[in-house]
């Protein structure tokens, strides 16, 4: 039995993932794109699932994203996802598009479903054609029982990640148990407005497409779009939510009495996955959380938070356990948001370091000791309104340079 933590009406299953909701299976295998590690994975629903997606804002969208968006647009449903790691199939021209369609067609044939019901995703090195002989052979074998294992799926989607990222929750809607599960990959090239990140969320809820899409878009702006590792936005980022309706609840819409509960569950899954991605930043040793309160708008709070979490000077100071509050204040100052310095308050963990335009006295050794923790919190009080936002990131270390200096080799 999985360990659970109850939070009001949402039960969090920390070991749960994309196969917790009814009707979903997943698996993965090594097909030969990468040297040794698993590199081809899948998710399949028993029935076509209402699907919503959000995608990278990078103008160079990879071939799989174009194919997947076109497929979902046909009837707002997919039934399966095929994903490879080790090769992004990005900046690969017409051949890249043809290869993505070939992956889609091949997996649809294995499942006996229409081609447009298969989503295709890829992650890895940019600018290289997929080894389609290996991918095609893998797709023909991947549904074999030996590869049917959600742990295999979660391993197959990773690139420079050091760990799998998963979470699931359960809620009650119309007296029915509704599950929401998620798995993600992402470690470097992570920045607000999506990054080299793939997120897969499944649910057995019965939900209208327009409302699912609106919820995902809103939640993404509060979660996946509030993390950063290195300021780079990739070509392949995508988050998909598949809802197959097998829980048997009345169709969820914004007018359903349990709508807020469902949306809270979806947000919790998204936020936990986003935080796990930020914590696993390439070479990172710490998760950094920035809470911005008292902004005149939610957008202003988000901008300030992202400015701080994106600052390389803030990130390196945290890595070096240097309580250099000046770097935090500077990042607030160039965020593009008009703030009033004499109203500003900044704290590092429980230690107030700046208030009303002036530094606060603090014991350097105590703050340095706090900065050695695995999770570091920065609190900013703007005192200009009632809106707030939270952003997540990581420290910037020597290992980040080492990992990315030899990424292709």
Confidence of residue 195 (pLDDT cuts 50, 70, 90): very low
Q: Which pLDDT belongs to residue 284? A: 73
Alpha-carbon span 91 to 152, nearest angstrom: 28
Whether the per-residue pLDDT at 3 is higher than 70: the answer is no
pLDDT at site 194: 39
pLDDT value of residue 332: 96
| Contact by Cβ (8 Å): 352, 260 | no
Per-residue pLDDT at 196: 54
Structure tokens at 49: 């699932």
Mean pLDDT of 253-265: 96
Give me the pLDDT at residue 344, please: 96
Least confident of 89-93, 97-101, 261-265: 89-93
Query: Band of the pLDDT at 106, cuts 50, 70, 90?
Result: very high
Dump pLDDT digits (tens) for 28-53.
Answer: 999 999 988 999 999 999 999 999 99
Q: Is the per-residue pLDDT at 393 higher than 90?
A: no
Judged against a pLDDT cut of 90, whether residue 395 lies above it is answered with no
Please tell me the number of Cα atoms within 13 Å of 172 on its side-chain side. 5
Which pLDDT score, from 0 to 100, does residue 234 have? 58
Tokens 């009033």, residue? 340
Residues 98-121: what's their mean pLDDT?
98
- Tell me the β-bridge partners of 239: 54, 199
pLDDT, mean of residues 339-345: 94
The pLDDT, as a whole number, for residue 404 is 61
The residues, ordered by sequence, that sit 6+ positions from 389 with a Cβ below 8 Å of its Cβ are 222, 226, 292, 295, 298, 301, 302, 304, 305
The secondary element (H helix, E strand) that includes residue 249 is none
Residues belonging to the active site: 196
| Element holding 156 (H helix, E strand) | helix 150-156
Share of the chain above pLDDT 70, in %: 90
Residues 149-165 have a mean pLDDT of 88
> Is the model's pLDDT at 190 over the cut of 80?
no
43: tokens are 């998710």
Q: For all residues of the chain together, what is the average pLDDT?
A: 89
End-to-end CA gap in the chain = 42
Distance CA 184, CA 216 (A): 15
Question: What are the Cα distances from residue 181, in Å, to 20, 167, 263, 279?
Answer: 6, 6, 13, 20
Q: What is the average pLDDT across 75-92?
A: 95
Which tokens is 98 given? 């043809």
Say what the pLDDT of residue 281 is: 63
Instruction: Please report the pLDDT score of residue 193 as a whole number.
Output: 45
Q: Would you say 54 and 193 are in contact if contact means Cβ atoms under 8 Å apart?
A: no
Rg (CA), the chain: 22
Mean pLDDT in residue range 241-247: 98
The percentage of residues in the chain with a pLDDT greater than 90, rounded to a whole number, is 73
Check residue 226 and give its pLDDT. 85
Averaged pLDDT, 287-293: 95
Please tell me the distance from the alpha carbon of residue 186 to that of residue 290, in angstroms, as a whole number.
20
Q: Is the pLDDT of residue 363 over 50?
A: yes
User: What H or E segment, with its residue span, contains residue 54?
Assistant: strand 40-55
């Amino acid at each position: 039995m999985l360990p659970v933590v109850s939070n009001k009406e949402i039960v969090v299953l920390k070991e749960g993932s994309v196969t917790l909701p009814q009707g979903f299976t997943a698996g993965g295998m090594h097909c030969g794109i990468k040297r040794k590690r698993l590199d081809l994975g899948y998710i399949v629903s028993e029935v076509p699932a209402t699907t919503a997606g959000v995608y990278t804002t990078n103008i160079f969208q990879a071939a799989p994203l174009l194919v997947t968006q076109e497929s979902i647009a046909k009837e707002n449903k997919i039934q399966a996802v095929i994903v490879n790691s080790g090769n992004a199939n990005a900046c690969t021209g017409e051949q890249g598009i043809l290869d993505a369609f070939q992956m889609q067609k091949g997996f649809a044939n294995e499942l006996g479903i229409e081609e447009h019901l298969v989503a295709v995703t890829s992650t890895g090195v940019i600018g290289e054609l997929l080894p389609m002989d290996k991918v095609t052979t893998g797709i023909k074998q991947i549904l074999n029982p030996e590869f049917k294992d959600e742990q295999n799926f979660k391993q197959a989607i990773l690139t420079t990640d050091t760990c799998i990222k998963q979470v699931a929750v359960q809620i009650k809607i119309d007296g029915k148990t509704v599950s929401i599960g998620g798995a993600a990959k992402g470690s470097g090239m992570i920045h607000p407005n999506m990054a080299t990140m793939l997120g897969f969320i499944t649910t057995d809820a019965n939900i209208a497409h327009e409302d699912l899409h609106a919820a995902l878009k809103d939640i993404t702006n509060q979660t996946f779009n509030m993390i950063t590792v290195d300021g780079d936005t990739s070509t392949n980022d995508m988050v998909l939510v598949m809802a197959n309706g097998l829980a048997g609840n009345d169709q969820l819409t914004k007018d359903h009495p349990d709508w807020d509960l469902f949306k809270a569950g979806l947000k919790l899954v998204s936020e936990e996955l986003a935080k796990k991605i930020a914590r696993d930043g390439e070479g990172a040793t710490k998760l950094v959380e920035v809470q911005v309160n008292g902004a005149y708008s939610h957008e202003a709070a988000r901008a300030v938070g992202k400015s701080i979490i994106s600052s390389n000077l803030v990130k390196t100071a945290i890595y070096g356990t240097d309580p250099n509050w000046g770097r935090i204040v500077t990042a607030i100052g160039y965020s593009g948001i008009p703030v009033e310095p004499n109203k500003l308050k900044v704290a590092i963990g429980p230690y107030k370091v700046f208030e009303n335009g002036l530094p606060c006295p603090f014991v350097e050794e105590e703050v340095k000791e706090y900065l050695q923790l695995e999770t570091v919190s920065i609190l900013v009080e703007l005192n200009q309104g009632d809106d707030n936002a939270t952003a997540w990131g990581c420290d910037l270390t020597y290992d980040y340079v080492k990992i990315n200096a030899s990424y292709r080799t």
